[in-house]
Chains A and B, each alone.
Chain A
Amino acid sequence: MQRKIIHCDADCFYAAVEMRSRPELREQPLAIGAASGRGVVTTCNYPARAYGIRSAMPMAEARQRCPQLIILPTNMTTYQSVSRDMQAIFHRFSPLVEPLSLDEAFLDVTKTTQFQGSATLIAQEIRRLVALELGITISAGVAPNKFLAKIASDWQKPDGLCVIRPDQVEAFLLPLPVAKLHGVGKVTAAKLHDLGIHTCSDLRQWSCAALMERFGRHGQRLYELSWGQDERPVVVSRPRKSMSVERTFSHNLPGRGACHERLPALAEELHQRLGRKSLDGSTPFAKLFVKLRFADFSTHTREAGWQQAGLPGEADFAPLLDYLYAEQEQRGVRLLGLGVRLSEPVRPAGQQLSLFNDQQQPLNHLRQRQPGDNADDQSNHSASHHIGGVVQSQDHPAGHDAEGEGQQD
């Protein structure tokens, strides 16, 4: 049966939620994220993007590009609540909703009967309802499978709809740059370009075996995608059991001290990931862990219980690192990772509403910053370069290279 998949993606979600309560910010460059220290941009609005500001850019760099940038701290509780409302709207059209993060989800509407089953009309209606009921815009992509739907949602961003009908797939795919394919990041793209492969049409000149020879299992995936094949179902609940970030270094870290120096950047990156992914607000972290791979490829992990509220920081991981290093101060380290194991997730479905609205949202904290107005910025400036300075491993298979982070589900 021909499937009908919709990919919905909120436009600059965090920023959009903030602008909803402060419409005066709509025309001004706005970034969401920690303003001080090693903070990075988690989201920015389109006026900010005009200055070249992008997600994951260090905030210090963003401020250099746009001195009048308005920076708001993340307000995760509100985003989670808006996200739940958005999911509820998706659920009106199909029980098959797969959230990818707070602001993104796949819907399988193959069996939906509303709007005579027209996925295009359903997507339009979802976009209309989200705008009407939640005051933010989303972009949607409609296609016969997940990977095309996801590419399509990005096609007309922001506030757009792009439909790839089954009979349009070929025309859409052939000129599609390979960098748009799911799992193709900078490293894989560069390798493909070296082989003279720039579009899916180029990719189709290669046999599955030849691609696998060069890219391993990922080669098979590339082959299938170039032919528009993606049978992955929309999975309703995929409870996440852990989340981690890890780095493989091109030159081994010389010992414990060097590992400690890397902790802050990794902890910060873990924060970003924990914030961005679809974690139910009430899901507590049950355990923290640190993973080390020494120069001899032996891999060690150490974990410890974690009961506290809030996000774990570098100081919480440091003792685990010390434990792993107990008797081996000077061993070289190829890979360092940090992560959290999550306790049983609370099902987001079934949220009991309250009679009293006494849990008021804290007011947002508006800060307008000028470059150099805070000594912290200066002292941490060099530290922020560590993030960019970490060299990613070449011996990881492609697919990690887009984000450079391991994930254990």
Chain B
Amino acid sequence: MKLTLSREALLQPLQAIAGVVEKKQTMPVLSNVLLIAEDGQLTLTGTNMEVELVARVDDIAVEQPGRITVPARKLSDICRSLPEGVTITLSVDAERMKVKAGASQFTLSTLPAEHFPNVEDDAESFRLSLPQGELRHLLEATAFAMAQQDVRYYLNGLLLEVSDSLLRAVATDGHRLAMTTLPIDSGIDATRQVIVPRKGVQELLRLLDDVVTPVELVIGENHLRATVGGFTFTSKLIEGKFPDYNRVVPRGGDKTVIADRQTLKSMLQRAGILSHENIRGVRLQLEPNALHVYANNPEQEQAEDAMAVEYQGESLQIGFNVGYLIDVLNAVNDDNVRMVFSDPNASALIESGADDECVYVVMPMRL
């Protein structure tokens, strides 16, 4: 194998792939990137067995076709540290790969391409296409609520639900839930649900730009595949039953508060400084036209703050993990938030003041 290309043509796909390749690997070949050179095209593939990213670089000079794997991170670091605009030649000789750029020369170890695992092909169930920016927003507004290494493995991912007219993302860690809904015209008659693992959501987000250029999603029995520009991203799906999110979105709250999002967020961040550093509990006290917050920690240090809100109703005291509230306030894309409470042991509903595309549910804490 021998080919020549510009540093920039190689660097962007390599950096994307280095994100997929995990630092600690059980199989040595998984820390490598698979390079396939043929027909004026270089294909780069990285995988951690759960997600796979394939990048295609077209219109390059392939002097000698071939396939090989080399350490992904080292190749990416070399490429990044070379001066801008240089031309790079990759060539395989015996079991080594040479990287040459001007006077710089590197010799990397390789492993045979045959050792590199393939994602097995999967029957397609359905596909849809939507602007990258919209999918990005859908995932960004929801992904923060995914569980992390929960024994309820189906929570360590994000539910994508597609029906005829809606694309919906739902994530929950059992304490809070985030749900975003996009109107689409999918042409799918039944409602379909898949769970994309955490890593898959995070890597997919890295590929999506805030643009209207479409992303193509192909969903199969066991995989989701997204095609964005020169990248093909594949993630395994989590088998399992996602909890019925409709059951936990509260409907009966009778205490509706409208608050300025930024003011509320700043107030909670200040108070949170003196909450218990692990438990992060704060107490909210709701009064007509005012929201008070109280925090204290085991050192008996205390914080107290208040802000004006739109609220006419009974007073209420309710405790929350302040981190959960701040996460929601970061995700809401509006000047105002609407919060609906019912009692100190029942979940709170938080939405943006303007539309109800994003819905957040946070369970309180007993303080």
Where the two chains meet, the residues of A that have a C-beta atom closer than 8 Å to any C-beta of B are 84, 88, 237, 347, 349-356, 358
- Give, as a whole number of angstroms, the nearest-CB distance from B26 to chain A: 26
Question: Closest B-chain residue to A239, C-beta based?
Answer: B298
Inter-subunit contact B363/A349 (CB<8 Å): no
| 0 or 1 for each of B278-291: is its CB under 8 Å from A? (1 = yes) | 01010000000000
B177 contacts across to A, CB distance below 8 A:
355
B347 contacts across to A, CB distance below 8 A:
355
Within 8 A of A (CB), among B174-229: 174-177
A-B contact pairs, 7 of them (CB 8 A): A347-B279, A350-B365, A352-B175, A352-B279, A353-B365, A355-B177, A356-B248
Question: Closest A-chain residue to B245, C-beta based?
Answer: A355
Complex Cα gap A259–B334 (Å): 71
Complex Cα gap A349–B300 (Å): 13
Chain B interface SS verdict (over half): loop
Inter-subunit contact A355/B279 (CB<8 Å): no
Q: Name the residue among A88, A237, A351 with the largest chain B CB count within 10 angstroms.
A: A351
With A347-B276, A350-B276 already in contact, the answer to whether A88 and B243 are too (CB < 8 A) is no
Question: Closest A-chain residue to B248, C-beta based?
Answer: A355
B345 contacts across to A, CB distance below 8 A:
353
- Give, as a whole number of angstroms, the nearest-CB distance from B366 to chain A: 4
Complex Cα gap A17–B363 (Å): 26
Inter-subunit contact A88/B366 (CB<8 Å): yes
Within 8 A of A (CB), among B8-64: none
Inter-subunit contact A350/B279 (CB<8 Å): yes
Inter-subunit contact A356/B243 (CB<8 Å): yes
B248 contacts across to A, CB distance below 8 A:
355-356
- Give, as a whole number of angstroms, the nearest-CB distance from A319 to chain B: 32
Question: Closest A-chain residue to B319, C-beta based?
Answer: A350
Complex Cα gap A347–B177 (Å): 25
Q: A352-B175, A355-B243 are in contact. List 11 more A-B contacts (CB 8 A).
A: A88-B366, A347-B298, A349-B281, A350-B279, A350-B319, A350-B365, A351-B366, A354-B174, A355-B174, A355-B177, A355-B347
- When A and B form their complex, which 9 residue pairs have the shortest distance between CB atoms, in order from nearest? A350-B279, A350-B281, A351-B366, A353-B363, A355-B248, A352-B365, A355-B363, A352-B175, A354-B174
Complex Cα gap A349–B361 (Å): 22
A355 contacts across to B, CB distance below 8 A:
172, 174-177, 243, 248, 347, 361, 363
Complex Cα gap A212–B279 (Å): 47
Q: Which of A351, A356, A358 contacts B365 (CB 8 A)?
A: A351
Question: Closest A-chain residue to B321, C-beta based?
Answer: A352
Question: Closest A-chain residue to B172, C-beta based?
Answer: A355
- Give, as a whole number of angstroms, the nearest-CB distance from A397 to chain B: 34
Inter-subunit contact B367/A353 (CB<8 Å): no
- Give, as a whole number of angstroms, the nearest-CB distance from B234 to chain A: 30
Inter-subunit contact A350/B361 (CB<8 Å): no
- Give, as a whole number of angstroms, the nearest-CB distance from A213 to chain B: 42
Q: Name the residue among A88, A351, A352, A358 with the largest chain B CB count within 10 angstroms.
A: A352
A353 contacts across to B, CB distance below 8 A:
175, 345, 363-366
Inter-subunit contact B364/A349 (CB<8 Å): no
- Give, as a whole number of angstroms, the nearest-CB distance from B349 to chain A: 12
| 0 or 1 for each of B338-351: is its CB under 8 Å from A? (1 = yes) | 00000001010000
Question: Closest B-chain residue to A84, C-beta based?
Answer: B366
Within 8 A of A (CB), among B326-364: 345, 347, 361, 363-364
B367 contacts across to A, CB distance below 8 A:
349-350
Question: Closest B-chain residue to A237, C-beta based?
Answer: B298
- Give, as a whole number of angstroms, the nearest-CB distance from A134 to chain B: 13
Question: Closest B-chain residue to A88, C-beta based?
Answer: B366
- Give, as a whole number of angstroms, the nearest-CB distance from B317 to chain A: 9
Within 8 A of A (CB), among B262-311: 276, 279, 281, 298
Complex Cα gap A354–B177 (Å): 11
- Give, as a whole number of angstroms, the nearest-CB distance from B286 to chain A: 16
